[in-house]
Amino acid sequence: MRAVNIGAIGPMGLAAFAFLYPFINGRYVVSGNVVAFTTLCISGLCLGILLFISIYKNRITADGSTVRVATFLSVAIFFYVSFLIIATYGAQFYLLPLAVTWAAILSLLLRPNLLADLCDKPVRHSLSALVFFVLASCLLTFFQHTSIPGSFFRRTGLVTFFCCVVIFFAAVLFLQSEKSQRIVLRALLLGSGMIGTLGVLQFYDPWWAMSRWFPELLQDPRAVGTMGHANWFGTYLCLLLPLAIVELFSATKTVGRLYFAALSGVLFAALVVCQTRGAWIAFSLFMLWLFVWQRSCRGKALRLLLFFLVITVALVWSGNGKISGRWATLDNEMENAKNFSPHTGSGRFTFWKYAIENLPSHVFLGSGLDTYQLVAKPGRREMPTDKAHSIYFEYALTIGLPGLAAYVLFLWFCTTPSAGVSCNLRAWGFRASIATYLLQGIFIHDTIRTWPLVWLIAGLAVAYRRTQR
């Protein structure tokens, strides 16, 4: 089979997305989510078109009868969805990205020979299962008007999911050399350094750093970067900081070591000042895993730990009690957790209890993406919030337990070394990034700001592993 290649357009497009997308914003949190959703739709549309060009330029064919049946179903589903959306909201711009991304995903899933060259069997099967369960949950629910575009505030519905899957396929398909993978990864990390620096500035001078973005958060002592919320910023940092640390340990030149040491320090400082306890716990477990698992790097890990300790002391000393005060709340949270208090984790036990109470009605197919706030039964207590504040409770309720299992397995398989292939430090870095995200996901849901980056990193992990065969 001829190599799938569209020159430099695909890799450069992904590098631009990796660098620019985290900066995309609006003046307020809600408008920022809308702008991010619009940008993601445009990105998904462009990458979907590039995927089509790659497939048909290289004459990668699928079984004819299968294509005819799938095309009929795809067109029928799209017209049904279009009718539903137009009847509810009027003509919406995201219908075109929805059609293109769905067609691109289907075109790839119907070409098993191509997928076999790109992904290992566990990745292919878990992704196919995930797409099936998400599609079924969003189309067979009573809340299709929300599950397809996503709620107005969150924007994490079927359209966003399809764009994320296309980003994954684009990374796997276009990043066929270590050089292209390195360019995308470095673009992602370069942007993270700037955003991390902004987060630290927000901590020390919130008026200057937040007067243009998110002025409604000026009274919040926690840094948010460009993410719109401290918890979302914590997720972003948990994804990027392990990758920065691995690049530091892999650097061979002095300039590279100094650059990635500074980057790791900035990202860690931002993690401290965002004051997200779930992110603190997840990163602490990552450092423990690094120290135990990467025995050859223990000396470097110990020096890095001392470096982070110095940063922490400096931030706590200069933070006017904000960081130490946040740390002190961990004792109260542990006591609340032991007593099963509904106030545990800023109300998370209440949010999770709501999900568990409504789970029996949606255990297999779910209620549809982004519909956590809609599933309360008549006569039952109203929703406590619009998100479960945990990817596990959120997806168990909205795409069902099989869909949740498929999602977790898919991410884990993406970062699991192939048979006979050793897990080098950079491959382990991708795995650590996803694992840290899954750990922090116990305490926070996915957002329009960070979910696409999860899929991009998963695609990078698969592409990198393929080059190591």
| pLDDT in the model for residue 324 | 74
Question: Per-residue pLDDT for 283 more than 60?
Answer: yes
| Confidence category of residue 280, pLDDT binned at 50, 70, 90 | very high
Best-predicted range by mean pLDDT (107-121, 308-322, 367-381): 308-322
d(CA 241, CA 260): 10
The whole-number average pLDDT for the span 340-355 is: 73
| pLDDT in the model for residue 29 | 81
Question: Per-residue pLDDT for 335 more than 80?
Answer: no
% residues pLDDT > 90 (the chain): 48
CA 368 distance to own-chain centroid: 18
Higher-pLDDT residue of 75 and 20 is 20
Higher-pLDDT residue of 351 and 449 is 449
| pLDDT in the model for residue 338 | 60
Among 432, 276, 439, which residue's Cα sits nearest to residue 345? 276
Question: Per-residue pLDDT for 395 more than 70?
Answer: yes
| pLDDT in the model for residue 208 | 66
| pLDDT in the model for residue 302 | 93
Question: Per-residue pLDDT for 5 more than 60?
Answer: no
Could you report the per-residue pLDDT of 198-241, keeping only the tens digit for each? Answer: 999 888 877 666 666 677 666 677 888 889 888 999 999 999 99
Minimum mean pLDDT range among 105-109, 113-117, 377-381: 377-381
| Confidence category of residue 2, pLDDT binned at 50, 70, 90 | very low
* Contacts with 249 (C-beta within 8 Å, 6 or more apart), sequence order: 294, 297, 300, 425
| pLDDT in the model for residue 436 | 95
> Whole-model pTM?
0.92
Question: Per-residue pLDDT for 1 more than 60?
Answer: no
Question: Per-residue pLDDT for 242 more than 90?
Answer: yes
| pLDDT in the model for residue 190 | 96
| pLDDT in the model for residue 3 | 46
Total Cβ atoms within 10 A of residue 52: 15
Q: What is the 3 state secondary structure string of the chain?
A: CCCCCCCCHHHHHHHHHHHHHHHCCCCCHHHHHHHHHHHHHHHHHHHHHHHHHHHHHCCCCCCHHHHHHHHHHHHHHHHHHHHHHHHHHCCCCCHHHHHHHHHHHHHHHCCHHHHHHHCCHHHHHHHHHHHHHHHHHHHCCCCHHHHCCCCCCCCCCHHHHHHHHHHHHHHHHHCCCHHHHHHHHHHHHHHHHHHHHHHHHHHHCHHHHHCCCCHHHCCCCCCCCCCCCHHHHHHHHHHHHHHHHHHHHHCCCHHHHHHHHHHHHHHHHHHHHHCCHHHHHHHHHHHHHHHHHCHHHHHHHHHHHHHHHHHHHHHHHHCCCHHHHHHHHHHHHHHHHHCCCCCHHHHHHHHHHHHHHHHHHHCCCCCCCCCHHHCCCCCCCCCCCCCCCCHHHHHHHHCHHHHHHHHHHHHHHHCCCCCCCCCCHHHHHHHHHHHHHHHHCCCCCCCCCCHHHHHHHHHHHHHHHHHCC
227 burial level (CB within 10 Å; 0-12, 13-18, 19+) = buried
| pLDDT in the model for residue 188 | 97
Q: Give the residue extent of every domain in the chain.
A: 177-339+415-469
d(CA 468, CA 465): 5
Could you report the per-residue pLDDT of 428-450, keeping only the tens digit for each? Answer: 999 999 999 999 999 999 999 99
